DNA sequence: CCCTGATTCGC
DNA sequence: GCGAATCAGG
């Protein structure tokens, strides 16, 4: 495929929104990030001046490709890009589940039939900061053995922050989101899944096994 | 290692 | 004009 007018327009838009060359390449398809960068330069919009308002959302997109604000009205042309508000997990009142909506809860689609996601840690409802924490995966949902083995694996977690998550890192939350003791597993994720081997095994369980364990 | 954008240069 | 290869950096 080549640089049709529409594709160029898309490129311009996305670039202005602050998306990375690789993201743009992925969305356009049939082009590499190199091609995108090359085009960007030839178009002379490399300095990314058009509009800095959307620069921040782009970062979050790496971890949560779900939905990002497409455009925000910018009153006046800003010369300096607005500094990106850095989401500090422990400082943010919001629960983890609010942001990586696509990351934390197990995917409801793309999962093979007969397998169902189990209750996850941070995901209940909106829990105000300072409130009692949502329980970690409870023992009645996950077998003691599996739980123990996961705890072991978690000792080797990479302890990534929200911003450090990529498509290939395990997005399982570990610890208390309201404190410094919070991070994401970060170990290599299983291809196509949001979690590493260990966490996939607790997140996705055969319906049969799960039913049998219920009280 | 994962990723970023910038540059070069043969096509 | 195009984009792979490469560079420089986080």
Q: Strand C: which positions are within 7 A of a protein CB?
A: 1-6
The percent of residues above 90 in pLDDT, for chain A, comes to 14
CB count within 10 Å of CB A133 equals 15
- Residues with Cβ within 8 Å of residue A140, at least 6 apart in sequence: A213, A214, A215
- CA of A21, C1' of C3: distance in angstroms: 13
Of A51, A86, A58, A88, nearest to A72 (Cα)?
A51
Nearest residue to C4 via alpha carbon and C1':
A34
* Nearest nt (C1') from A34 Cα: C3
Contact of A179 with A92, CB cutoff 8 Å: no
For residue A109, the tally of other CB atoms under 10 A from its CB is 4
pTM of the model: 0.39
Residue with nearest Cα to nucleotide C6 C1': A34
- Torsion over CA of A136, A140, A146 and A148, rounded to 10 degrees? 60
Taking alpha carbons only, the member of A109, A135, A115 closest to residue A124 is A135
A34 touches strand C (CB under 7 A): yes
pLDDT of residue A141: 66
Q: How far is the CA of A39 from the C1' of B9 (A)?
A: 15
User: How does A76-92 read in b/e, with b if 16+ C-beta sit within 10 Å?
Assistant: eeeeeeeeeeebebeee
Quick: pLDDT tens for A153-202.
888 888 888 888 888 899 999 988 888 788 899 988 888 788 988 898 88
Backbone angles phi and psi of A154, in degrees to 5: -65, -20
- pLDDT of A52 strictly over 50: no
Indicate the DSSP class of residue A206. E
Assess contact for A172 and A158: CB atoms under 8 A: no
Whole-number Å distance between alpha carbons of A139 and A91: 29
- In this predicted structure, what is the pLDDT of residue A24? 93
Nucleotides on strand B lying under 7 Å from protein C-beta: 2-8
**For position A85, what pLDDT does the model report?**
38
């Amino acid at each position: 495929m080549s640089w049709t007018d529409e594709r160029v327009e898309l490129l311009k838009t996305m670039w202005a929104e602050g998306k990375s060359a690789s993201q743009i390449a992925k969305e356009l398809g049939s082009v590499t990030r190199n091609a995108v960068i090359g085009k960007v330069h030839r178009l002379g919009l490399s300095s990314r001046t058009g509009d800095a308002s959307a620069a921040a959302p782009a970062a979050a997109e790496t971890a949560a490709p779900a939905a990002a604000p497409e455009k925000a009205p910018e009153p006046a042309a800003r010369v300096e890009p607005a500094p990106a508000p850095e989401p500090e997990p422990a400082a943010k009142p919001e629960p983890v589940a609010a942001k990586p909506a696509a990351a934390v809860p197990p995917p409801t689609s793309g999962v093979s039939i007969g397998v169902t996601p189990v209750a996850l840690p941070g995901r209940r409802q909106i829990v105000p900061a300072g409130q009692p924490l949502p329980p970690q995966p409870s023992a009645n949902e996950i077998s003691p053995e599996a739980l123990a083995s996961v705890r072991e694996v978690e000792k080797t977690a990479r302890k990534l922050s929200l911003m450090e998550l990529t498509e290939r890192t395990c997005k399982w939350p570990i610890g208390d989101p309201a404190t410094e003791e919070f991070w994401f597993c970060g170990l290599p994720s299983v291809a196509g899944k949001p979690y590493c081997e260990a966490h996939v095994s607790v997140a996705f369980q055969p319906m049969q096994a799960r039913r049998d364990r219920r009280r």
